[in-house]
Structure 1
Amino acid sequence: MPSFDVVSKVDEHELANAIDQANREIDNRFDFKGTGAKFVLNKLMIVLTAPTDFQLKQMVDILQNKMAKRNLDLRSLEFEKPTISLHEAKQEVKVKQGIDKEVAKKVTKVIKEQDLKVQASIQGDQIRVTGKKRDDLQEVIAFLRSQKLELPLQFENFRD
């Protein structure tokens, strides 16, 4: 039976490249000269450090621009509340990998409501969709792409 997996992943190599480009832009910008502002990537956590809250907001904008240029979906970012002290402002940004339980339940429910002859099952942090016809699976992919979900979805492991 044909099947495919619905996943939500961020290319870590492209993410590292986007962070590197953002750091380069901060090094070259006149308004950030000598401030010590920087982006630090630690696995799937990005830490933004700047002297002021205003510069921190500019850094968020720079990060979003660099990620968009590298075709990384901004919906995979989860911004924490910034912590502002006397001489430093910090903000942590989590990069979401995988589909959590609530979103997975929502996606499987939406697939089942379509009345196509497919089955959707949650397998850890991904969803496996199986069906008798390849056309039904392609309809599910097209339908999921048209939906506005809070996570970016990718489709992989398509088997006949």
Structure 2
Amino acid sequence: MPSFDIVSKVDMQEVDNAVNQTVKEIAQRYDFKGSKSEITQEKDSIKVLADDDFKLKAVIDILQSKFFKRGISIKALQYGKAENASGGMVRQIITIQQGVSKEKGKEIIAVIKESKIKVQAQIQDEQVRVTGKNRDDLQETIALLKGKDLDIEMQFVNFRE
């Protein structure tokens, strides 16, 4: 029976490159001269520290543009709440989403069932497996999901006959 998997993966090397480019641009820009703004990457998150809300927003805009240029979807980022840090600075933690969460998996399955396409979908760990009797139904399902805005970066992999 033909099947494919819906996954959500981000190339962490590209994320690292985008963060490094953002750091370089912050160091060169005139509006950041004398600013203590910084951006650091942990395992699956990015910590942004800035002087005020305006600079925080500017750093995040630069980061998003670097992500876009490197082919990383902005949907893979989950923004935490901006909070006050020591010294009158503002901190925000951005989490990089890896894998399809259970809630998003249920949402994807609901969209597939709503469409009445003759396929079955099930959640397996951090991915959703879709199986059907023929390839056309699976391709129709992929087209349907690409057309929906589910606030998650999806890749369709492991297509098998």
Name 2:110's counterpart in structure 1: 109
Name 1:65's counterpart in structure 2: 65
The TM-score normalised by the length of structure 2 is 0.93
Name 1:40's counterpart in structure 2: 40
Match of 1:46, SS state, is strand
Shift of 1:7: 0.7
Match of 1:15, SS state, is helix
Letter in 2 for 1:136: D
Shift of 1:154: 0.7
The TM-score normalised by the length of structure 1 is 0.94
Are positions 1:92 and 2:121 aligned together?
Answer: no
Provide Cα deviations, 1:77-133, integer angstroms capped at 9, x if missing partner: 111111224332211111111111111111112112222221111101100001111
Name 2:130's counterpart in structure 1: 129
CA distance in 1, matches of 2:53, 2:111: 41
CA distance in 2, matches of 1:88, 1:24: 20
Counting aligned pairs with the same residue, the percent is 46
Name the count of aligned residue pairs.
Answer: 160
Are positions 1:147 and 2:137 aligned together?
Answer: no
Provide structure 1 residue ranges, at least 5 long, that are not aligned to the other structure: none
CA RMSD of aligned residues (A): 1.3
Are positions 1:156 and 2:140 aligned together?
Answer: no
Q: Summarize the Cα distance change of 1:113–1:53 in structure 2 as closer, same or farther, 3 Å threshold.
A: closer
CA distance in 2, matches of 1:54, 1:137: 46
